């Protein structure tokens, strides 16, 4: 089920801080119309850290409603408290989600054995497929290949989003797990090479801005056309870089606002709007790509 370009969808908000439902629907329709293969709802790019549980669940529910089964929806369900991650998963399992994405616990810095216990407990709580998410640049703790291999034995743990940017991890971990275990890149900058070396997809921030280009790049890689995949990626390579000059999702929200796809670039504190030089840089990139 899970293959190709999955957008790590932003959660649009109004200046009063409330979720902008109209813009959210517009974004979902934008992705369906432009070939995005799946949506990750309220992951870290969706500002999950500042959405209370009820709001988190409500946004996932809205996205599932707007998608209307046209493409898969994976819901962010991670937390640095195992009991909270289980609670969130249980609350969303009746919404019609196709999978969960659960991040390595942040701040706690759990041991590898702690990660195994954490994710096995979450996977035990529902029958919905669970994808692990390793992003040590955000969480500090790094889930090692041997830990992934141990977790892959659980029937509900189906893959990993690897945002280390270390392509050697892909080959190393692949050698330790079953052939049907899924590998998604969580690093847009190296996502094309990741797929060309055997990855199954990209959970992408860049896809928020250029969904058709990301989908086409992924499709070419999945078909084994490395040259075409790299050609398509080269067209948006500057976008991969510029979207991360400030902490995600500051820049993608500003880009979507300038493109007219969301009504405001509001972010919840402690995130704020990009610096003026960052605004100018992203606007120049969008203009060069004929997006504004």
pLDDT, position 10: 98
Query: Facing residues of 76 across strands?
Result: 101
Residue 292 pLDDT > 80: yes
Whole-number Å distance between alpha carbons of 55 and 19? 9
Class of 4-236 per CATH? Answer: alpha beta
CB 204 within 8 A of CB 221: no
**94 closest CA partner among 117, 64, 121, 120:** 64
| Total residues found in the chain within this entry | 292
203 annotated ligand-binding residue? yes
pLDDT, position 141: 96
pLDDT, position 1: 77
**9 closest CA partner among 129, 238, 31:** 31
Token pair in block for residue 221: 């890689």
Mean pLDDT of the chain: 97
pLDDT in tens, 146-167: 999 999 999 999 999 999 999 9
45 annotated ligand-binding residue? yes
Whole-number Å distance between alpha carbons of 114 and 132? 14
pLDDT in tens, 80-126: 999 999 999 999 999 999 999 999 999 999 999 999 999 999 999 99
pLDDT, position 13: 98
Q: How confident is residue 201, by pLDDT bands cut at 50, 70 and 90?
A: very high
Average pLDDT rounded to a whole number, residues 127-144: 97
pLDDT, position 152: 98
6 is catalytic: no
Average pLDDT rounded to a whole number, residues 53-59: 98
Q: Where are the domains of the chain?
A: 4-236
Name the catalytic one among 25, 54, 109, 161.
161
Q: Element (H or E) spanning 33, and its range? A: helix 21-33
Residue 169 pLDDT > 80: yes
257 is catalytic: no
pLDDT in tens, 249-284: 999 999 999 999 999 999 999 999 999 999 999 999
pLDDT in tens, 178-190: 999 999 999 999 9
Phi, then psi, of 130 in degrees rounded to 5: -120, 130
Name the catalytic one among 54, 106, 107, 133.
133
pLDDT, position 117: 98
């Amino acid at each position: 089920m899970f293959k190709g370009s999955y957008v790590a969808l932003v959660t649009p908000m109004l200046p009063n801080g409330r979720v902008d439902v109209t813009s959210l629907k517009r974004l979902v329709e934008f992705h369906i119309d432009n070939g995005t293969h799946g949506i990750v709802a309220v992951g870290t790019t969706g500002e999950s850290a500042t959405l209370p549980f009820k709001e988190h669940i409500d946004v996932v529910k809205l996205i599932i409603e707007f998608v209307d089964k046209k493409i898969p929806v994976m819901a962010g369900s991670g937390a640095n408290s195992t009991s909270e991650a289980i609670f969130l998963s249980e609350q969303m399992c009746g919404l019609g989600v196709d999978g969960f994405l659960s991040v390595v616990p942040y701040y706690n810095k759990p041991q590898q054995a702690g990660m195994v216990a954490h994710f096995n407990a979450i996977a035990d709580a529902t029958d919905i497929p669970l994808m692990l998410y390793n992003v040590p640049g955000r969480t500090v703790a790094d889930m090692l290949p041997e830990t992934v291999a141990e977790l892959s034995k659980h029937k509900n743990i189906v893959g990993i989003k690897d945002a280390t940017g270390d392509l050697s991890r892909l080959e190393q971990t692949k050698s330790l797990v079953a052939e049907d275990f899924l590998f998604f890149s969580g690093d847009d900058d190296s996502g094309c090479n990741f797929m060309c070396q055997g990855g199954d997809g990209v959970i992408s921030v860049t896809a928020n801005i250029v969904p058709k280009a990301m989908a086409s790049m992924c499709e070419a890689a999945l078909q084994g056309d490395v040259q075409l995949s790299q050609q398509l990626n080269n067209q948006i390579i500057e976008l991969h870089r510029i979207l991360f000059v400030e902490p995600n999702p500051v820049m993608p929200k500003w880009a979507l606002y300038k493109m007219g796809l969301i009504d405001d670039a509001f972010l919840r504190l402690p995130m704020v709007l990009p610096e003026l030089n960052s605004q100018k840089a992203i606007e120049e990139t969008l203009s060069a790509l004929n997006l504004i």
